[in-house]
């Protein structure tokens, strides 16, 4: 189990940059794949970016590729989302996600868990 807390959201102008942070507590941070999702008013939550447990592999939604960068610091139990060239359509609540999947070494049973932060608001004005 892990508790997630996002921070860094705010109101910015189009073209500005913003860095979101996700602080994790509980569990072992390095055992979770980390991701960022966002949800705009009236829309479904959408995938933005993901990073592997080691931080070697990353994946991005086409809408943010080249503008956003996901990162993680396993020593500091933190994940981040660096956002550049923000657009009004980036306005949404941004959520941090932790995903754990594998086989329990004690019970030998497979598991697949998702944990979510409470979100941080990003508003981009034109």
The confidence score (pLDDT) of residue 69 equals 98
Show the tokens assigned to 7. 């921070």
The confidence score (pLDDT) of residue 76 equals 95
**pLDDT, averaged across the chain:** 95
The confidence score (pLDDT) of residue 110 equals 86
- Per-residue pLDDT reduced to its tens digit, 69-110: 999 999 999 999 999 999 999 999 999 999 998 888 888 888
The confidence score (pLDDT) of residue 111 equals 84
**Cα gap 122→26, rounded to integer Å:** 26
pLDDT surpassing 90 at residue 112: no
The confidence score (pLDDT) of residue 103 equals 84
- C-alpha pair distances (Å), 106 with each of 8, 83, 102, 103, 113: 38, 40, 12, 9, 17
- Per-residue pLDDT reduced to its tens digit, 21-64: 999 998 899 999 999 999 999 999 999 999 999 999 999 999 99
pLDDT surpassing 90 at residue 122: yes
């Amino acid at each position: 189990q892990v508790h997630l807390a996002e921070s860094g959201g705010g109101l910015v102008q189009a073209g500005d940059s913003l860095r979101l942070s996700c602080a994790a507590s509980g569990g072992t941070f390095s055992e979770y794949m980390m991701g960022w999702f966002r949800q705009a008013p009236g829309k479904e939550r959408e995938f933005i970016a993901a990073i592997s447990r080691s931080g070697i592999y990353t994946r991005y939604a086409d809408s943010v590729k080249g503008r956003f960068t996901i990162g993680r610091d396993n020593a500091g139990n933190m994940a981040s989302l660096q956002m550049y060239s923000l657009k009004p359509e980036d306005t949404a609540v941004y959520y941090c996600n932790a995903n754990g999947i594998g086989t329990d070494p004690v019970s030998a049973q497979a598991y697949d868990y998702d944990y979510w932060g409470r979100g941080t608001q990003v508003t981009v004005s034109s």
